[in-house]
Amino acid sequence: MRKLALGLAFLSPALLLAGPLLAAGAPQTVKVVLADSDVEHMTLQVDRTQLKAGKVTFDVTNASQDQIHEMLVLRTDAVGQPLPYDAKDEKVIEQNTQDLGEVADLDPGKGGTLTLDLRPGHYILICNQPGHFMHGMKADLTVAN
């Protein structure tokens, strides 16, 4: 019994030190809600805008009653940087961006996930269904060390 107690005494500090290290490597989750009240009032809401570099899972839900939505993750150089936009198609020109991935074409009430390994920098989340980006479906994210 004494050996067990002595062993636990040496093990406890190691466990205390390992806890924060394990938590630091844990993936982060960003909850994303795609919503609209009508075709001119649309939102892309995130539960956090500041992240640490590393694995990030985007948990996306389309809360619309009747609109298909999607979520794209684009890397940009800075907040407010203009995105290449095709006014005729009412869409961001994806091939002219740093598009990292997407949860595409979610029917109303549906959801999906996307996991990425993000480096420090600025990112923007958008819905690129025709007209949706210009009607407010965007959110900025900052990733730091």
Give the domains, in start order, of the chain with CATH numbers.
Answer: 27-144 (2.60.40.420)
Confidence of residue 127 (pLDDT cuts 50, 70, 90): very high
Which class for 123: exposed (0-12), middle (13-18), buried (19 or more C-beta within 10 A)?
Answer: buried
Pairing mode, strands 50-52 and 91-92:
unpaired
Report yes or no on whether pTM surpasses 0.75. Answer: yes
Q: Give the span between the Cα atoms of 142 and 89, in whole angstroms.
A: 29
Looking at the chain, the whole-number percentage of residues with pLDDT higher than 90 is 74
From the list 83, 88, 86, 87, the residue with the least C-alpha distance to 72 is 83
Q: What pLDDT is recorded for position 17?
A: 46
Q: Give the span between the Cα atoms of 102 and 93, in whole angstroms.
A: 14
Q: Please compute the mean of the pLDDT values over residues 77-94 and round it to a whole number.
A: 94
